């Protein structure tokens, strides 16, 4: 593991594998850095850099001190810190999933990067954003001592909005369950940040951006992917049939092939 520090002094921990142009993998939501394990081997010619998100590991001493208003800024700064820290022959590439995809795009507005790949950025369409209440619902459950139920609510509304027949069985097979329950408050803050984020008319990223989405994911994320694509000056949008929100780990061959084609172009 390697470490660096963001502007506010937060220690940022990341793993680097291999040689070549750095390719930063930014995980999102409840996913740990291990989310990228199916994807990394498909980019052997790159130096894979996998940071640990502050607040979702040991690198943030007290995540409770970070307000919802600061969450996205904090994560953008950690991504930029890694970009600045990696010893590279050329500018790095950012590949983010969900909240990591939003982080990647925002980080690229103030960092020198070669390209950005964003799988279903955690952005809410305007009408959906105005009535979003997941953070409030989770917080109410936490205050009632129902931390597990709070995280289940996140899983139901974000990971399986189409419905799931046996949630308990799915959770039992989920690698991060039940340890992820400890992150309940952090997930509330993350969701508040998402609920407050508005896609600007123009996202000021000079590097080319590949925006990806899947037909089996939440409809609101597909709509948001199109909105993000339209706000970017140099963007390509690709939609995968039969792939859900977990696309990169769910269909690594399919997603990686598209990303590799984009990077070659």
* 196-to-29, 71, 154 alpha-carbon distances in Å: 16, 11, 17
Cβ-based neighbours of 127, under 8 Å, separated by 6 or more: none
What local confidence, expressed as pLDDT, does residue 132 receive?
78
- Please report the DSSP string for 75-110 in residue order: HHHHHHHHHHHS--SS--EEEEETHHHHHHHHHTTS
Domain count, the chain: 1
Q: Is residue 181 part of a domain?
A: no
Q: Is residue 188 part of a domain?
A: no
Range of the domain at 100: 2-124+200-264
Q: Is residue 32 part of a domain?
A: yes
52 and 78 Cβ atoms separated by less than 8 Å: no
Cβ-based neighbours of 194, under 8 Å, separated by 6 or more: 99, 102, 122, 123, 124, 132
Q: What is the mean pLDDT of each run of 10 residues along the chain (265 residues)?
A: 50 82 89 85 94 56 56 87 80 95 96 96 86 90 96 86 85 87 88 91 96 92 95 96 92 97 93
CATH code, domain with 81: 3.40.50.1820
Instruction: Fill in the DSSP letter of residue 207.
Output: S
Q: Is residue 20 part of a domain?
A: yes
Q: Is residue 150 part of a domain?
A: no
What local confidence, expressed as pLDDT, does residue 63 receive?
47
Q: Is residue 151 part of a domain?
A: no
Q: Is residue 110 part of a domain?
A: yes
pTM of the model: 0.89
Q: Is residue 135 part of a domain?
A: no
| CA triple 165-142-98, angle to 5 deg | 60
């Amino acid at each position: 593991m390697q470490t660096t520090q963001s502007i506010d002094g937060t220690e940022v921990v990341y793993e680097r594998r291999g040689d070549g142009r750095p390719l930063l993998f930014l995980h999102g939501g409840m996913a740990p850095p291990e989310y990228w394990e199916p994807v990394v081997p498909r980019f052997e010619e790159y130096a894979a850099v996998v940071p640990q998100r502050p607040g979702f590991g040991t690198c943030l001493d007290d995540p409770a001190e970070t307000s919802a208003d600061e969450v996205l800024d904090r994560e953008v700064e950690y991504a930029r810190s890694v970009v600045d820290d990696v010893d590279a022959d050329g500018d790095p590439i950012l590949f983010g999933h969900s909240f990591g995809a939003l982080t990647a795009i925002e980080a690229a507005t103030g960092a020198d990067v070669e390209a950005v790949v964003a799988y279903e950025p955690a952005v809410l369409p305007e009408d959906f954003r105005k009535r979003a209440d997941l953070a409030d619902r989770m917080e109410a459950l936490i205050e009632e001592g129902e931390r597990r139920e709070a995280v289940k609510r996140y899983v139901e509304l974000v990971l399986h909005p189409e419905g799931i027949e046996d949630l308990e069985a799915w959770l039992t097979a989920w690698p991060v369950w039940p340890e992820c329950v400890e992150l309940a408050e952090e997930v509330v803050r993350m969701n508040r940040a998402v609920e407050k984020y508005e896609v600007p008319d123009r996202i000021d990223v000079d590097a080319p951006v590949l925006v990806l989405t899947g037909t089996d994911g939440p409809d609101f994320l597909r709509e948001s992917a199109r909105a993000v694509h339209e706000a970017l000056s140099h963007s390509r949008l690709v939609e995968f049939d039969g792939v859900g929100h977990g696309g990169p780990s769910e269909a690594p061959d399919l997603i990686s092939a598209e990303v590799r084609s984009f990077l070659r172009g």
